[in-house]
């Protein structure tokens, strides 16, 4: 079943879209702000995101940019009341795949969703598997393996590992990780990153070997594909 995430702060519209999509046999869920959208989309595999431009905190364009920066290739349909051609270009440049000006007929929205559902995706699915050393991560099936053995991760652990594996050897600060995985950075949450890194290390690392996730003192963490013995 095709999974759709609707990102729209106008609750009534969001609910109506979800209802119509479910009526057509899609699995639809809604979130009302940009940060929650980012956190959901990074934690779970969706087949389509419907993202309104005007949102509280992060706007739709920022959500799209951040997802594309994280190399999430999920199709994105932008909604916007801003009908100008320049806005359309901005949306597409940011990485949206299609664009629907408000107000729109629900039949028009469904036609766009059906069109996106027909896009070839098999190629993308295999390309999406991330591999680094003996660790593989499949964002579509939400699965992780270490040395061919499945590793059972929580949604946040998975999102954190995906963030690391999309950019092996890049050093991430705690605040970037908080922003990407937890959808916001409040300094009081710095410990959350450390805690989840310790969970991931327990699950991923071979006993007695060096950790895949290396602490960079005073900066943050980095993923090392070949940590060595």
Nearest distance in Å: CB 72, Ca ion: 21
Shortest distance (Å) from residue 3 CB to Ca ion: 22
Please tell me whether residue 13 binds Ca ion under the rule CB under 5 A. Answer: no
Query: For residues 6 and 93, what is the distance between their CA atoms, to the nearest angstrom?
Result: 20
Q: Which residues contact 84 (CB under 8 A, 6 or more apart)?
A: none
| The CA-based dihedral angle spanning residues 44, 49, 50, 54, taken in that order and rounded to the nearest 10 degrees | 80
| Binding region for Ca ion (CB under 5 A) out of 9-17, 123-131, 141-149, 206-214 | 9-17
Q: Is residue 52 near Ca ion by the rule CB under 5 A?
A: yes
Is 109 a binder of Ca ion (CB under 5 A)? no
Strands (E), the chain: 3-7, 27-31, 48-52, 76-80, 98-101, 130-132, 135-138, 143-146, 149-151, 171-173, 213-216, 220-223
87 binds Ca ion per the rule CB under 5 A? no
Task: Considering the complex, state which of residue 54 and residue 109 has its C-beta at the smaller distance from Ca ion.
Answer: 54
- 80 neighbors 54 (Cβ within 8 angstroms): yes
- Judged by CB, which is closer to Ca ion: 80, or 211? 80
9 binds Ca ion (CB under 5 A): yes
Among 54, 117, 140, 155, binds Ca ion (CB under 5 A): 54
Q: How many residues bind Ca ion (CB under 5 A)?
A: 3
Kindly list the residues in this chain that would bind Ca ion in the complex (CB under 5 A): 9, 52, 54
């Amino acid at each position: 079943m095709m999974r759709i995430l609707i990102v729209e702060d106008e609750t009534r519209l969001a609910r109506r879209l979800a209802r119509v999509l479910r009526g057509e046999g899609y699995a639809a869920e809604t979130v009302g702000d940009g940060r929650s959208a980012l956190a959901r989309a990074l934690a779970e595999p969706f087949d389509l995101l419907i993202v309104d431009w005007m949102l509280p905190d992060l706007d739709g364009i920022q959500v799209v940019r951040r997802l594309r920066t994280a190399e999430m290739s999920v199709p994105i349909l932008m909604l916007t009341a801003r009908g100008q051609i320049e806005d359309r270009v901005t949306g597409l440049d940011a990485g949206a795949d299609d664009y629907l000006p408000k107000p729109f007929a629900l039949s028009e929205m469904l036609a766009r969703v059906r069109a996106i559902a027909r896009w070839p995706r098999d190629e993308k699915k295999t390309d999406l598997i991330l591999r680094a050393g003996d660790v593989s991560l499949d964002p579509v099936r939400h699965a992780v393996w270490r040395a061919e053995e499945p590793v059972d991760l929580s949604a946040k652990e998975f999102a954190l590992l995906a963030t690391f594996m999309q950019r092996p050897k890049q050093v991430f600060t705690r605040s970037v990780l908080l922003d990407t995985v937890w959808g916001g950075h409040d300094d009081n949450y710095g410990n959350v990153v450390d805690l989840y890194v310790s969970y991931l290390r327990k699950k991923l690392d071979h006993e007695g070997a060096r950790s895949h996730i290396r602490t960079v003192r005073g900066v943050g963490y980095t993923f090392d594909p070949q940590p060595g013995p």
